[in-house]
Amino acid sequence: MQGKRACESSHSVSNALRAQSIVDSLSKLPVDARDAAFEALAGIADDGRFTKEAAPPGPSLIGYHASSVAAVLRTLWEVPLGGADVFVDLGAGLGKTVLLAALLTPARARGIEVQTPLATAARDAAKRLGVAVEITNADVRDAPLADGTLFYLYAPFTGDVLANVVLRLRAVAEDHDIVVAALGVDLARLAPWLAPRSVDSFWLTLYDSGFPGARPRSGATTGRTLTSPAAFAVAFAQPPPRETR
């Protein structure tokens, strides 16, 4: 038992060091070089392999385009995650957001992706990086959502599909509090039960649920990795510090 605990704590220390070193290196790059650098590290660079998957995979569904590292870090900066959190990317693509969440936070990170080549490549990337993420190759309309505490949506679908998924998120939120991070998706009309936070960002809206009787989200207590000036620089798309330019 003691051995197991020692092993877990050395694992989390090494994860935190790795997270810090990834964030530090990204912060030293020009803002417009950070995405390519992370994608190269993760082996998910846009090298023309997934042109077909960039097209809409079905009616009201949107094809693959990756989030920026800044968008993901900004989300994780604003919503510190703890070990009891579950980050769920709805329409995970090549897994960029899920990989970042797994690398940079103690939360469990999982993604749901309908296009099989993307889901397979995301799993391969996680294996290469040695991070534990779960990628479900399914349509979000049919996939399990009940454990999620932070749901991330970068324009995955519109219309009826979005309305259907929002209803499913509502059922989760009636059980426990959730945060929804939405990029390129306006949830104000579809989900009046979600309260938007005042986040000063053109592209990112964060929403909190808060149904009476729902279990509160515990969030980060310890092990928050995203407090450093480097993390701030990446999350807020700040240029590298002068001495590293």
Ligand X SMILES: C[S@@+](CC[C@H](N)C(=O)[O-])C[C@H]1O[C@@H](n2cnc3c(N)ncnc32)[C@H](O)[C@@H]1O
Interface ranges with ligand X (CB under 6 A): 57, 61-67, 89, 91-93, 96-97, 112-115, 118, 139-141, 154-157, 161
Listed in sequence order, the DSSP H helices in 43-94 are: 69-78
β-bridge partners, 109: 87, 133
Listed in sequence order, the DSSP H helices in the chain are: 2-27, 34-42, 69-78, 96-104, 116-129, 159-175, 229-235
Cβ nearer to ligand X, comparing 38 with 154 = 154
Minimum distance, C-beta of residue 64 to ligand X, in the bound complex (Å): 4
Cβ nearer to ligand X, comparing 10 with 116 = 116
Cβ nearer to ligand X, comparing 52 with 215 = 52
Report CA torsion sign: 183, 189, 194, 200. positive
Instruction: Give the residue at shortest CB distance from ligand X.
Output: 91
Cβ nearer to ligand X, comparing 8 with 142 = 142
Minimum distance, C-beta of residue 241 to ligand X, in the bound complex (Å): 27
Minimum distance, C-beta of residue 139 to ligand X, in the bound complex (Å): 4
Other CB atoms within 10 A of residue 132 CB: 11
Question: What region does 85 belong to: left with phi over 0, alpha with psi -120 to 50, or beta?
Answer: beta
Minimum distance, C-beta of residue 83 to ligand X, in the bound complex (Å): 23
